[in-house]
Amino acid sequence: MSQAQAPAAQATTPRWDIFCSIVDNFGDIGVCWRLARQLAHEHGLQVRLWLDKPEVARQLIPSLNPALTRQIPGQYIAQVEICHWQLAADAEIADAEIADAEVADAEVANVVIEAFACELPAAYLQHMQGRRPVWINLEYLSAESWVDEFHAGRSVHPSTGLSKHFFFPGFSHHTGGLLRESRLLAERMAFQQDAQLQAEFWQQLGVAPSLSENAVKVSLFCYPHAPLHSILQAMAEGEQEVDLFIPAGHIAEQTQAWVAQQAAAGFTAHKLKTHIIPFLSQPLYDRLLWACELNFVRGEDSWIRAIWAGRPLIWQPYFQQEDTHLEKLQAFLQRYHEKSSASLTAEIMAAHQAWNADGFKLMASTPSNGKPCAPYCRNGRPMRRLMPASWPSKKIWPLSW
């Protein structure tokens, strides 16, 4: 939708403003962009998404033109108006007063979402006192039990007297739940049951000719501090062929460097084939998750989408001091495997522990069942179930969600 093709809206249609500050990854903008589109498409709302770094968001929204977001109205994409939060492209040199003045030129919305405590621009907050909209602070997703108590809580701003309501996504009926489009599961099922659609998808990515017929398809999206070399080594030396798909970026560069080092040392990773693919838009990334049999994901947005993909997953939460992220990981895994067997739960928890701390290795011994070894965690727990042939998704998909 071009700048001149703003969607027609009734005068009585409520307007929602979503403010998103893009920090250092794609989780914040990923969640906010999905939320904005769903509010517009499925609820018929006027939605305006305020971004401080549209040039970064462009990787997720390919048709986004940062220049068109620096005016009001902004650029319309998928029925959502996208506006530049600040006049300067570089947040470090932005003039806060000028930026606030730009935001204040826009009419305050009926509902204002402050995503992940990003702090609203001062001028916009001041104008909110006149209209007194519903003010929602969208919090990060967590499976920890304390979230149930704090969801839908309220606080009063000390200087404006405005009430801020706290929305916590979560995994219980006492939270806000998980973001999901109404037809997502039907679309996923149609894709996963249609071999032609899958073949066309791999063709679109340009990897179809190099795929191995018997290989397990694995997607890898992780933070830089992940024990990348250990999982690459384990996959390369394992018994199962693996087609590994990595989006372009720092991790892809590390992977390519590792492959080159292995080749220079005379080692050929016969069982592992790496595929560097473009950084995908959200609809295409969903299809990648649906098409793979195991997904390594990180942060929040890719984590949620991997859950909805219904495939085995390994999650890397965003690193926090004092190992707080490991507490969040443990809380999720306990809920995720609520109805799993004790042995399966132990193995998958060990796999997550390896990915988030210790790294992986191969064991030279053969299990008592006589089957070849697959990757093991450093603490010695078997990783046989990393391979989907022995890790059926029906065993790890909590039907109670």
Return the DSSP state at 66: G
The answer on 45 and 107 residing in a single domain is yes
What residues of the chain score a pLDDT lower than 70? 1-11, 24-25, 86-106, 269, 361-401
Containing 105, the helix (H) or strand (E) segment is none
What pLDDT is attached to residue 5? 58
Q: Are 347 and 381 in contact (CB under 8 A)?
A: yes
| Percent with pLDDT over 90 in the chain | 57
Say yes or no: 120 and 209 in one domain: no
The residue with tokens 């730009």 is: 102
Indicate whether 110 belongs to any domain: yes
User: Which residues are CB-contacts of 186 (< 8 A; sequence separation ≥ 6)?
Assistant: none
3-state secondary structure 295-332: EEEECCHHHHHHHHHCCCEEEECCCCHHHHHHHHHHHH
Q: What is the pTM of this model?
A: 0.84
387 and 243 part of one domain? yes
Please give the residue range of the domain that contains residue 214.
Answer: 184-396
Task: Enumerate residues 6+ apart whose C-beta is below 8 A from 211.
Answer: 202, 217, 243
Q: Which amino acid is at 218?
A: V
Query: Which residues have CB under 8 Å from 282's CB, separation 6+?
Result: 30, 33, 34, 60, 305
Domain check: are 62 and 196 in the same one? no
271: its two tokens: 């069982």
If asked whether residues 201 and 132 sit together in one domain, one would say no
CB neighbours of 12 closer than 8 A, spacing ≥ 6? none
| 193 & 134 share domain | no
Instruction: Tell me what pLDDT residue 91 has.
Output: 30
Whether residue 28 lies in the annotated active site: yes
What is the structure's pLDDT at 131?
A: 85
- Residue 171: per-residue pLDDT: 94
Question: Residue 139 and residue 116: Cα distance in Å, rounded?
Answer: 5
In 3D space, the residue among 152, 176, 146 whose CA is nearest the CA of residue 331 turns out to be 146
Domain stop point among 138, 164, 199: 138
Exposed (0-12), middle (13-18) or buried (19+): which is 142, by Cβ within 10 Å?
A: buried
Choosing from 17, 28, 81, 347, which is the catalytic residue?
28
In-domain check, residue 9: no
Shared-domain flag, residues 212 and 132: no
Of 81, 300, 301, 347, the active-site residue reads 300
Strand pairing report for 216-220 and 294-298: parallel
- Same-domain status, 375 and 301: yes
From 104, 138, 172, give the residue that closes a domain. Answer: 138
For residue 30, is it within any domain?
yes
Query: What is the pLDDT, as a whole number, of residue 362?
Result: 60
Number of independent structural domains in the chain: 2
Given 3-state DSSP classes, what are the helix, strand and coil percentages for the chain, each rounded to the nearest 5?
40, 15, 40
Per the annotation, the verdict on 213 as an active-site residue is no
| CA-closest candidate to residue 108, choices 89, 131, 138, 90 | 131
| 282-312 per-position pLDDT tens digit | 999 999 999 999 999 999 999 999 999 999 9
Q: Is residue 68 part of a domain?
A: yes
Residues contacting residue 342 through CB under 8 Å, at least 6 positions apart: none
